[in-house]
Amino acid sequence: MPSQLLTDPTDALSSVPAAGSRRATPVVGHLRFYYGPMDCGKSTLALQVDHNQARQGRRGLLLVHHDRSGKPQITSRIGITRQALEVQGDVDLRDLVRARWAEGLRVDYLIVDEAQFLTPDQVDQLAELADDVQVDVYCFGIATDFRSRMFPGSRRLFELADELEPVQVDVLCWCGLPARFNARVSDGVVIRAGDTVLVADTDRELPQSEPPATVRYQVLCRRHFRVGDLGPAVAGRGQLSFA
């Protein structure tokens, strides 16, 4: 009976390989998603991770889509900037890595800023790169849009990532409570409908409005996001934007 238990395929532990067998298992890369509201330091952290990786002699690619600067770069509000590859929704991220290989260059890791703007298919491609060719992938982005609904790219990252890491920098609502809702504000009013993607770092006109209005973003706690309360003194335009 004891020997039968040891070989029983229904045993919960029977599928776990012995230590010696595990050593023969190929190493896989990791897919990590660091997320948080605007102004919590995601882009700064992305550049710090790139710096740390490069110091160890690793070679990486920096990818971004819709950086607030409007340029193909990753920018931090504390003044750090690095050039990056602009990734549109129709780009196959695996092809970017293959192109580097074709040039005889290594790709050990990927840094992806503004990862909320990835398509679900692109997130699947990142998972494939991690699993099949041992590329470590570090994604940084916002979880929810101005309606408090998850971006499609962020949702897929929550489904697939090996590690989900909230960025541990407090962002406060005007009332002093922790803020995690990214309110879109036009002329002092919280907007509840519109295009999901609208990136701004300073005032920006909404051409469809009459007369043209400006838009900015402000982080709020849940209560003040729900009621659309921007505080006793509405923050200056351009105070915050997607990070």
Q: Which residues are bridge partners to 33 per DSSP?
A: 139, 164
Of these residues, 86, 114, 205, 210, which one is catalytic?
A: 114
* Edge-to-edge strand ranges of the sheet holding 163-166: 85-86, 60-64, 109-113, 136-141, 31-35, 163-166
114 is catalytic: yes
Whether 210 and 235 have beta carbons less than 8 Å apart is answered as no
- If 0-12 CB within 10 Å is exposed, 13-18 middle and 19+ buried, where does residue 180 land? buried
Reported for 166-169, long-range contacts at CB under 8 A and 24+ positions apart, including other chains, are 166/34, 166/35, 166/36, 167/34, 167/35, 167/36, 167/40, 167/41, 167/42, 167/45, 169/36, 169/40, 169/41
Work out the burial of residue 110: count CB atoms within 10 Å of its CB; fewer than 13 is exposed, 13-18 middle, 19 or more buried: buried
Q: How far, in Å, CA of 243 to CA of 237, rounded?
A: 16
Alpha-helix residue ranges (DSSP H) falling in the chain = 2-7, 19-22, 42-55, 93-102, 120-133, 152-160, 222-227
Instruction: Tell me which residues are annotated as active site.
Output: 114
